[in-house]
Structure 1
Amino acid sequence: MPSTNNRIIKTEEQYDQALERIDSLMMDDPAANSDAGRELELLAMLVEQYEDLVYPVDLPSTNAVDRFRIDQAG
Structure 2
Amino acid sequence: METEHLKLIETEAEYERMLARIDELFDAKPDSEESKELQLLMLILNKYEEEHFAIEEPDPIEYIKIRMEELGLTQADLVPYMGNKGNVSKVLNRKRSLSLEMIRNLHKGLGFPLEILVADITPHSDKNAA
Q: TM-score range by the shorter chain?
A: 0.7 to 0.9
Is 2:30 the partner of 1:32? Answer: yes
Q: TM-score with structure 2 length normalisation?
A: 0.50
CA shift for structure 1 position 58: 0.7
Q: Show the counterpart of 1:64.
A: 62
CA shift for structure 1 position 32: 2.5
Q: TM-score with structure 1 length normalisation?
A: 0.83
Alpha-carbon distance in 2 for matches of 1:30, 1:70: 41
Q: Which has the higher helix share?
A: 1
Q: Show the counterpart of 1:9.
A: 9
Instruction: Please report the RMSD computed on the Cα atoms of aligned residues, expressed in angstroms.
Output: 1.5
Larger Rg, first or second structure (1 or 2): 2
Is 2:64 the partner of 1:42? Answer: no
Alpha-carbon distance in 2 for matches of 1:43, 1:69: 34
Gaps of 5+ in 2: 75-130
Q: How many residues align?
A: 71
Gaps of 5+ in 1: none
Identity, in percent, stands at: 27
